[in-house]
Amino acid sequence: MSADHLYPVPPAVAQHAHIDAPRYQALYQASISHPEQFWAEQARRIDWMTAFSQVKQTSFDTEQFGIQWFTGGQLNVSANCLDRHLAERAEQTAIIWEADEPGSAIHISYRELHAQVCRFANVLKQQGVVQGDVVTLYMPMIPEVVIAMLACTRIGAIHSVVFGGFSPEALSSRIGDCGSRIVVTADEGCRAGRRIPLKANVDAAIELLGDRSVNQVIVVRHTGADVAWDARRDHDYDQLMSRAEAHCPPLAMDSEAPLFILYTSGSTGQPKGIVHTTAGYLLYAALTHETVFDYQPGETYWCTADVGWITGHSYMVYGPLANGCTSVMYEGVPNYPDITRMAQIIDSHKVNILYTAPTAIRAMMAQGDAAVQGADGSSLRILGSAGEPINPEAWNWFHQTVGQGRCPIVDTWWQTETGGIMVTPLPGATALKPGSATRPFFGVRPALVDNEGQLLEGEAEGNLILLDSWPGQARSIHGDHSRFIETYFSTFKGVYFTGDGARRDADGYYWITGRVDDVLNVSGHRMGTAEIESALVAHQQVAEAAVVGVAHDIKGQGIYAYVTLNADVQPSESLRIELIQWVRREIGPIATPDCIHWTSGLPKTRSGKIMRRILRKIAAAEYEGLGDLSTLADPAVVDHLINEHRRIS
């Protein structure tokens, strides 16, 4: 089947969908021609405490840069996600929590979640947290992380969730960057039967921070493991909760008050603390969640993303809860204890909408149909994919095997910085092409430019940019607003540059081709090559390192590291293992290099710039067509690299 095979909208889906094809056309046009009117109308889905006076004041021009939505308005995010549902659906399950080990699931109703959030908001207040403080959450996938996030929003504190797979080093730099004095964590996390020493990692991170340090740590006793305890700093979550009051009024927050910081990787070494604000983010998350997944009241929805990434924020927490949805939250990994686990969870909770990542789909596909062996799967209605390009083979497998040929797949393109889904099919409106993210969401104006910034019309391939603002857009990089403007709005003047390349076909469908900068996407985890390089060169015996991505069957991209050792050091198997461990320790297991290529030299221009284009080609064994080598300081390096690569592979 060709990648361009067209899957029309199933009539049964179109009939009951929120948005069908004519409505998509009409609403999209309206959202582009009259954005203020369109978004004012959409803003009714928010419960406002004070009405806004202006919808949109935005400029991407670096001279008069500014992004403000719904100015003058006030709201509270936790009230929108909880309190307003109490009248109608207090007893409805908000979260179905499924533990790492099969067989134990917990249902938490909106009423219970509301009560827990209010209590924890009071706990935070008692610990001295006030509006505008940053609270770091380093948590496993357990309901307490959702409680902590919403509790922050209730009192106007800003959360910074750090993925539980990051090392103490990575955690400490993220705590240090946002100046957070309080961390919420758990004794341990559980993944695939293994224990993750979260509290010990927090202790190590605080040690690394020295006197800029954290003075409060709240610990959820999740596994009950014995952990080191500093009575002056560490607090037991349950003890604090048992003493806290269950009543906590939600604070009225300005539309543009910061809601959270989320660190993500860019092309430079230092992760960026992306700042999202209150009203626009919540509205965009809620609207996209409802329309992109065609969520209908009463349905059960499962987003498999970890809460440490933006997908977990927007589509496990804020979008679904704002819409009063019942969500599955799963602690573990898709293939534990075996490859049928996802199908088992779908059947046991009658999941209607499944949102996952290509890497999970490919891991299942690698085992033929075993992933759905013995499963019913009839509850599924809509499938979704995000985080990396989905290859047509994986798309077709997902569609046939998991979706039984019946369920539309929404391949959603977006980024940490966009806050919500940007280019995507809508199940009732868009005919699908495997591998294409298809068309823009309401209010989104994508375009393609060449490297000189010239707009490309019609069928074309180029750099993906966005011409105008949308409410869910990030507003800044924490502590470095000029880096924000520089990174996203300066490469091409007056527009937002995504860092992605894309192709637009004759039907106007977008096909994301991947990053055009030095950012890798490994199993849907975004990582800067510079971060991995700086971890490698921090090792005493490494002189120089260059990291590139290389195609990987399951992970999408693997990490290929060229390493030059100090003159007196010989490469060895034990050093290879040591370096891999070293990177895992510096960043976390997600950054584990797949290949270490020992080399005596890297291809550099005469001005000393490493030519990554050449390194990418050699890693992919594409020895021909390396392009212009005349600017290399030492062209002989290329032959050495090719010979070394031949020996490795």
Backbone φ, ψ for residue 505 (5° rounding): -95, -175
Closest CB to ligand PRX among 172 and 264?
264
Secondary structure of residue 606 in the 3-state scheme: coil
542 is in an annotated binding site: yes
Residue 434 in contact with ligand PRX, rule: CB under 6 A: no
Contact positions with ligand PRX (CB under 6 A) in 261-290: 264
The partner residues of 326 in beta bridges, in order of sequence, read 300
State which residue, 386 or 407, has the beta carbon closest to ligand PRX. 386
Q: Dihedral of the CA atoms 128, 132, 134, 135 (nearest 10)? A: 50
Find the binder of ligand PRX among 134, 178, 512, 548 (CB under 6 A): 512
**CA 147 vs CA 80, 115, 255: distances in Å:** 14, 10, 22
Question: Shortest Cβ distance from residue 533 to ligand PRX (Å)?
Answer: 20
* Closer CB to ligand PRX, 221 or 503, in the complex: 503
Is residue 353 helix, strand or coil?
strand
Backbone φ and ψ of 642, nearest 5°: -65, -45
Least distance in angstroms from the C-beta of 2 to ligand PRX: 19
Does 416 engage in binding with ligand PRX (CB under 6 A)? yes
Judged by CB under 6 A, the residue of 98, 411, 531, 586 near ligand PRX is 411
415 near ligand PRX, judged by CB under 6 A: yes
Is 439 labelled as part of a ligand binding site? no
**Nearest to ligand PRX of 240, 448 (CB atom):** 448
Smallest gap, in angstroms, from Cβ of residue 625 to ligand PRX? 24
Q: Compare residues 266 and 593 and give the one whose CB is closer to ligand PRX.
A: 266
CA 579, 586, 619, 271: dihedral to nearest 10 degrees?
A: -160
154 vs 313, beta carbon nearer ligand PRX:
313
> Which region, judged by CB under 6 A, interacts with ligand PRX, from 64-72, 281-289, 514-522, 576-584?
514-522
Alpha carbon distance 613, 608 (integer Å): 15
Q: How far is CA 630 from the centre of its chain?
A: 40
Distance CA 4, CA 436 (A): 9
Minimal distance, residue 386 CB to ligand PRX, in Å: 4
Per CB under 6 A, which of residues 307..326 are in contact with ligand PRX? Answer: 309-311
DSSP 16-80: H-S--HHHHHHHHHHHHH-HHHHHHHHGGGS--SB--SEEEEEE--GGG-EEEEEET-EE-HHHH
Which residue, 269 or 501, is less far from ligand PRX as judged by CB?
Answer: 501
Question: Do the beta carbons of residue 281 and residue 419 sit within 8 Å?
Answer: yes
Q: Does 234 bind ligand PRX (CB under 6 A)?
A: no
Please identify, using beta-carbon distances, which residue of 236 and 517 lies nearer to ligand PRX: 517
Question: Is residue 44 annotated as involved in ligand binding?
Answer: no
Residue 127 engages ligand PRX in binding (rule: CB under 6 A): no
Residue 330 corresponds to which amino acid? Y
**Is 192 annotated for ligand binding?**
yes
The residue count for the chain = 649
Regarding 331 and contact with ligand PRX (CB under 6 A), the answer is no
Contact 68, 57 (CB under 8 A): yes
Task: Between 349 and 433, name the residue whose CB sits nearer to ligand PRX.
Answer: 433
- Shortest distance, position 527 Cβ to ligand PRX, whole Å: 9
Q: Which stretch binds ligand PRX (CB under 6 A): 106-114, 130-138, 407-415, 638-646?
A: 407-415
Task: Provide the minimum distance between the beta carbon of 492 and ligand PRX in the complex, in angstroms, as a whole number.
Answer: 16
Provide, rounded to whole angstroms, the least separation between the CB of residue 512 and ligand PRX: 4
Q: List the one residue from 180, 201, 326, 412 that touches ligand PRX (CB under 6 A).
A: 412
Q: Based on the shown chain and the rule CB under 6 A, indicate whether residue 588 belongs to the binding site for ligand PRX.
A: no
Q: What are phi and psi of 479, to 5 degrees?
A: 75, 0
Task: Give the Cα separation of 638 and 628 in Å (integer).
Answer: 12
Shortest-Cβ-distance residue relative to ligand PRX: 416
CB of 342 to ligand PRX, least distance (A): 19
The answer on whether 649 is annotated among ligand-binding residues is: no
The residue among 110 and 395 lying less far from ligand PRX, judged by its C-beta, is 395
Q: How far apart, in whole angstroms, are the C-alpha atoms of residue 288 and residue 266?
A: 25
Out of 218, 220, 329, 386, name the contact with ligand PRX by CB under 6 A: 386
Partner residues linked to 643 by β-bridges: none
Map residue 465 onto helix, strand or coil. strand
The window from 332-340, 382-390, 486-494, 612-620 that contacts ligand PRX (CB under 6 A) reads 382-390
List the interface residues with ligand PRX, window 482-511 (CB under 6 A). 498-500
- Among residues 399, 515, 539, 612, which is the contact residue for ligand PRX, using CB under 6 A? 515
Nearest to 283 by CA among 325, 319, 327: 319
Total residues at interface with ligand PRX (CB under 6 A) = 23
515 is in an annotated binding site: yes
Per DSSP, 302 falls in state: E
Task: Quote the least distance from Cβ 178 to ligand PRX, whole Å.
Answer: 18
Piece of 101-109, 223-231, 291-299, 414-422 that binds ligand PRX (CB under 6 A): 414-422
Encoded amino acid at 349, one letter: H
Q: Which two tokens stand for residue 400?
A: 């046939």
Residue 605 CB burial class (10 angstroms; 0-12, 13-18, ≥19): exposed
85 among annotated binding-site residues: no
Q: What is the CA radius of gyration of the chain?
A: 24
CA dist., res. 501 & res. 515, Å (int): 6
Pairing of strands 353-356, 476-477: unpaired
The bridge status of strand 66-71 relative to strand 54-59 is antiparallel
Q: Is 526 annotated as a binding residue?
A: yes
Provide the 8-state DSSP code for 452.
Answer: T
* Interface region with ligand PRX, contact rule CB under 6 A, candidates 16-24, 410-418, 559-567, 640-648: 410-418
**455: helix, strand or coil:** strand
Cis amide linkage into residue 389, ω under 30° from 0: no
Mark residues 342-381: x for contact with ligand PRX by CB under 6 A, - for none. Answer: ----------------------------------------
> Where would I find the H helices in 132-277?
143-155, 168-178, 198-209, 237-243
Task: Compute the distance between CA of residue 501 and CA of residue 74 in angstroms, rounded to an integer.
Answer: 37
Binding-site residues from annotation for CoA: 191-194, 311, 335, 523, 584
Binding-site residues from annotation: 191-194, 311, 335, 387-389, 411-416, 500, 515, 523, 526, 537, 539, 542, 584
Binding-site residues from annotation for Mg(2+): 537, 539, 542
Binding-site residues from annotation for ATP: 387-389, 411-416, 500, 515, 526
Question: What does the binding site for ligand PRX look like in residue numbers (CB under 6 A)?
Answer: 264, 309-311, 386-389, 411-416, 437, 498-500, 512, 514-515, 521, 526
